[in-house]
Amino acid sequence: MPRSGSTLIFNALRLLLESDPDCKLQSAWVREARDLPRANTYLIKTHGMNVIDAWRASKIIYSYRDPRVALVSLCRKFDVQPTAEFIRNWLRDFAFAEERADLLIRYELMITDLSAIVSALADVVGIKTDTEQLVTKLTEVMGPGITADKKTLLHDNHVTGTRDDDWRAFFSEDMKEEIAREFGPWLERHGYEAV
């Protein structure tokens, strides 16, 4: 899901795979993936669960967060108007990922316990690592002052600083009602308050 820590996960996986001497890694954003040189391992970041690409993946890692918060972050980042259609599309992707992903990562857990997420990622790709050392390295890679970079996939204005309850003031009352009506069951099933 966009705005759910996917770049952090991408970089954690990149660092894990780069630590394996047998892994000849090439990594990129999905739109640049076809231009990558040959390798025995490809790490591709995407925000959509393109069914064809996802079926070809040997491992699928999917991150998600409260879609209302993700939408506020997206609107701030790209200066777009919020619509329920964004959430609709994301939850279709989530349903695909829920059935097929090797690991689903909840953004809120990643923020509170990055070590547990790094350990779970290492398990999925079968690489033994010093989790705390990798978390330190990851924090340096993703830290403040880092600018647009093709290796890390960080870009300008990447972090919007959106807090979990910002959607309450950001959305109109009509939008909040529409979201609660249409997505309330999903929100509650996944541990988010519907209103």
Question: Could you report the per-residue pLDDT of 142-176, keeping only the tens digit for each?
Answer: 765 555 555 665 555 556 678 889 999 999 999 99
Q: What is the CATH number of domain 6-189?
A: 3.40.50.300
**Which residue has 């069914």 as its token pair?**
51
Predicted local confidence at residue 31, as pLDDT: 83
Predicted local confidence at residue 51, as pLDDT: 67
Predicted local confidence at residue 23, as pLDDT: 92
- Output the pTM of the full model: 0.87
Report the C-alpha gap between 191 and 194 in whole angstroms. 9
Report the C-alpha gap between 110 and 118 in whole angstroms. 9
**Which residue has 């309850």 as its token pair?**
165
Predicted local confidence at residue 154, as pLDDT: 56
Indicate the Cα dihedral angle 67, 72, 74, 78, nearest 10°: 160
Predicted local confidence at residue 146, as pLDDT: 56
Are 13 and 103 spatial neighbours (Cβ–Cβ below 8 Å)? Answer: no
Spell out the residues 6+ positions from residue 32 whose beta carbon is closer than 8 angstroms to its own. Answer: none
For the chain, give every domain's residue range: 6-189
Q: What is the pLDDT along the chain (195 residues), one digit of tens a residue?
A: 888 888 899 999 999 999 999 999 999 888 888 899 999 999 999 888 776 677 788 999 999 999 999 999 999 988 999 999 999 999 999 999 999 999 999 999 998 999 999 999 999 999 999 999 999 988 887 765 555 555 665 555 556 678 889 999 999 999 999 999 999 999 999 999 988
Predicted local confidence at residue 151, as pLDDT: 63
